[in-house]
Each structure stands twice: as structure tokens, then as C-alpha cells.
Structure 1
Amino acid sequence: MKWAVLSDIHGNLEAFNAVLDCLSKEGIDRVAFLGDIVGYGANPNECIDLLKDIADIIVAGNHDYGSVGLTDTSNFNPVARAAIEWTAKELSTINRNFLLGFHLFSIRDDITFVHSTPYNPQNWDYLFYHDDLTMNFDSFQTRICFIGHSHVPVVFKKDKKGKTSSSKALVVRQEEVSRYIINVGSVGQPRDGIPDAAFGIYDAKECVFTLKRFPYDIGTAQKKIIKAGLPERLAARIAVGR
């Protein structure tokens, strides 16, 4: 079974289409989406419509819930909040109802899928290199957990002795006695200094995860953001991956 694991598309249709083109050549069996199909980008409805066609598993992100009133956005930064408010007005009724049906996590085939953290998904916490990982590994029972939210790819491992570590490995071959939390990065707004769309492919049979990067038409995505009246910073940042 080969999974494509995508996260944080954020209304970036150009990035999403580029990734779909890549996936068509990868022999993918199932697609999991880890949340935030909307927010920041100028094509929320179009991205939702594409997601409906391809995803086998979908979990909610904070921007998905924020745009339909299911999470408090008062603590969002002003740019993110402006994008949420714009998105809420743009959503079709059908797509609004679609977002309302998202759940916070999903478990399938010894894999946990969640947007933020397995420990407290509804708090939308971030998981970074320096964090204490113990409580998060204790919060799920599967061998592997895929996350998004930070837009920064990273692999966290807990070995047979209980020692935790992190790395930026592009290819991970699972050790039989180890467990993993893997952030697949962001399709639509990477923040690791690389503007190419990021996503993961997990071969469950071979127990191998591969982080993929794929270029897309950033210029067109930027023009759409500006034309929509969204904050200009949202257009600028996708060109630098920050």
C-alpha cells in the first residue's frame, strides 16, 4: 500500500495541481490530507473540489475550522485572520458544509493522521525540534503518526529504549522497534526556506517514507492573491518559502 500524505494546501491551486501531476506518476493507492485546505491562498473552493475527488482520509486544520466558525480565530495573527475572514466569505454553501464535517484525527492501517499534535489536536499546538516529545508519543498507539501545521518537514523518532530524536531526513526507513511522528511539510505555503511544494509518500509494505518537493507556478499564485485583495505578504512569502 502506497500512501500520498499531503498537508496545508491553503487555497494554493497552482501548488496543488503540480503535486497532483507528480502523484499521477507515483502509483499511489491512497491519499491522506492532514488539514488546512483553505486560508492564505486565493482558490479555496477550487482546492476543496479537487480534494473531494482524490482524498481517502481528511482531517481538519485550524484554518478549515476557523473559516466555518468551529475554532476561535482571535489569537490568529492579523494576516492569517484577514485571510480567514476573506475565505469565509468566498466559500460556497456546499464547501462550507464539507468543512464542517471534518474530524480532528483519523486512524487507518496502523497509521495516525492529525493536523497539529496527537497529544492535543484541538489546541492547534506546534511540534518543533526542541519540544518534549514524550507526551505526544504516549498519545497514540500506532507505529507512525503523520502531522502538518508547522509547514516545516521533520521526522521525530522514539527508539526501543524510549530515546527521542529529530532529523530532517528526506528518506526514512522504519526500524521495526521504533515509532515515528513525521511532519510532511506544506503543499501551498512551505516555511523551511524552500518554496517548492512539499508532501510525503509512504510505502507501507516497504516501511519507507520519502519527502518529495515539486516546483510550481508561484507567479500565478501570487497574482491571484493580490487580485483577490488578500494581504500582499501572503504573495511575497510563497516565493521564499517562509
Structure 2
Amino acid sequence: MRWAFITDIHANRQAFEAVLADARAQGATRYALLGDFVGYGPDPAWVVDQVMALVADGAIAVQGNHDEAVAHGSNPGMHPDARAVIDWTRAQLNEDQLRFLARLPLQAHGEPGHCLFVHANAFEPNGWEYIQGRADAVKSLHSSQARIQVCGHMHEPMLFHLSGTGKAGDFRPVAGVPMPLPAHRQWLAIPGSCGQPRDGNPAACYALLNPGKSDLDDARITFQRVAYDVEAAVAALRATDLPPLIAERLAARLTRGE
């Protein structure tokens, strides 16, 4: 059984379609979807419908901060562009879609072997604090007994680990290169954003986990980058009735991967 970890789709249909197609081609049979399905992008209804269908078929999904804001209303602390898109997104979704986002759990446990799935972190899932470095990762790992945590929220791929003696480390993964996850350590994986990467590379991010044969003792994770039709996503943004300046700023971010 191979798992695909997908997060921060941000209503980007073209990126999500490309990632799903790649994951299926790579043999993924289970999915964990780590939140922020909406916000920033032009196709929230389509993306939410796809997430709902995957969940109905057995996928795990958790709530992100943009999902919460769309379900319950934006807050003044958000960036003005993000808040404008949240308000616009609410008008694009029907009651069933809004209800689905509102009822998503903040975290979920699941196979394989003691995994924890959460959008932001395990120490305060509804506080939406970012894991910005090793200290934040250790704090999150200390907050759960799960051997593998998988988080979204940060839009750049990263992998952290913590040994039984308290020694921590991190890796900036190379796309397509499998990395072993030995059982004597805890691991925290951040797949990177599917719909809005922010590391200067516009290619969509996700990660694959091969659990191995013995309760994750020989598990391997592979961080993937998938080229998609960025220009089609940009055109879809420009075709919305979002304020033109906001749409242009969001389109520029997609093109530059930031």
C-alpha cells in the first residue's frame, strides 16, 4: 500500500489534477489530504468536490486555516488579498461544500503505523503556527506519540527527525529520491504545497510513502515535484470576478512559485 500526502491545494484545479494523475501512476492507493483545499485559487468548488469524493472513497482529510476561514468567515488578521479571496470563495461554494469544510477534523490518526496527519502542527493544531525550523518541529514531535507526523501549512518541502536521545535533524529533500525513515526516530514530513509552491519552483509538490513490510521499519518517503499547466491556472484566475489587481498578484505568485 503506497500513500500519497497532498496539502495546500488552494483551489488550483490544474495542479491537483496533475498531482493526482502522478500519484496514481506511481501506484498510490491511499490518500491523506492535509488541508487548505481552498483560498488563493480560482476553482474552489471543483477542488472541494474532488476532496469529498476521495474522502468518500477512504481518504483522510484534515482542516486547514483557509478551510476554517471559508467555512466560518474571514478574520481581520488575514492578509488583505487572502481575506478577499476567502470572501469570494464562500460565494462559490454550496451549503454541502461549506458544511464539509466546517466539519473536517483538525487532526487524524491513521495507517500506516501510528501516523498523525495535521495541517499546521501537533502542539496547537487550531493555532495555525508554522513549523519554521528544527525547534518548532521538535515541539510538534514531542506533542504526539506518532512515529510519523505529516503536516501542511508550510509551502516548502521539508523533513525533520528526532532520536530517542533527543537529537534532532532536518533534510531538505531532493525530488524523486526515496529517503528511509528508520524506526528508531520520529519523523515530521512537510510535503510542500500542491497548489501554491513558495520555493521559487512553480511545480506542484506532494509526497509518497511506501510503508515497507514491517510496521514502517523499512518505510521510505519520496518527495515529488510535478509540472502542471501553470498558464491555464493563471488564465482561470484572470477569468474570475476577483478584483483584477488581486487576481494579477495571485497569478504572478503562481508563475514565480512564491
Displacement of 1:81 in angstroms is 0.7
Identify the residue that residue 224 of structure 2 maps to in structure 1: 212
Secondary structure in structure 2 of the residue aligned to 1:103: coil
Q: Is the 8 A contact 2:210 2:219 kept in 1?
A: yes
Percent identical among aligned pairs is: 34
Name the count of aligned residue pairs.
241
What SS class does the counterpart of residue 37 from structure 2 fall into?
Answer: coil
Deviations 1:124-165 (A, max 9, x none): 000012534332111111110000101111111102321111
Cα distance in 2 between the residues matched to 1:75 and 1:126: 16
Return the letter of the residue paired with 1:27: G
Say yes or no: does 1:143 pair with 2:147: yes
Structure 2 residue 116 is matched with structure 1 residue 112: yes
Cα deviation, 1:67-111, whole Å, max 9, x if unaligned, reads 0117x6221111111111110111112211111110100001210
Counterpart residue type for residue 62 of structure 2: V
Cα distance in 1, alignment partners of residues 167 and 67 from structure 2 = 34
**Residue 60 of structure 1: aligned partner:** 63
Return the alpha-carbon distance in structure 2 between the equivalents of residues 58 and 77 of structure 1: 25
Choose 132-141 or 190-199, whichever is displaced more.
132-141
Write the distance in 1 (CA, Å) between the matches of 2:136 and 2:13: 35
Structure 2 alignment gaps of length 5 or more: 213-217
Q: Distance in 1 between matches of 2:26 and 2:134?
A: 34
1:194 maps to a residue whose letter is N
Residue 167 of structure 1 deviates from its aligned partner by: 1.4
RMSD: 1.3
1:223 to 2:231 alignment: no
Describe how 1:165-180 pairs up with structure 2 within 5 A: 165-170=169-174, 171-180=178-187
Compare 130-139 and 97-106 and name the one that shifted more: 130-139
Q: 2:232 is aligned with what amino acid?
A: T
Q: Deviations over 1:154-199 (max 9, x none)?
A: 1111023211112102332012201111101011000111100000
Counterpart mapping for 1:89-104 below 5 A: 89-104=91-106
Asked if structure 1 preserves the Cα contact closer than 8 Å seen for 2:137 and 2:188, the reply is no
TM-aligned CA distance change 1:143 to 1:130, over 3 Å? closer
1:83 is aligned, of 82, 85, 95, to 85
Gaps spanning 5+ residues in structure 1: where?
A: none
Q: What whole-Å deviation, never above 9, does each CA across 1:49-79 have from its counterpart, x for those lacking one?
A: 1112224100000000000117x62211111
Whole-angstrom CA distance in 1 between matches of 2:164 and 2:101: 39
* Residues 202 and 255, structure 2, Cα contact 8 Å, conserved in 1: yes
> What secondary structure does 2:252 align onto?
helix
| SS of match in other structure, 2:120 | coil
Aligned to 2:22: 22
Contact 2:134–2:169 (CA<8 Å) still a contact in 1? Answer: no
The range that moved more, 47-56 or 118-127, is 47-56
Please identify, of 90-99 and 194-203, the stretch whose mean Cα deviation from structure 2 is larger. 90-99
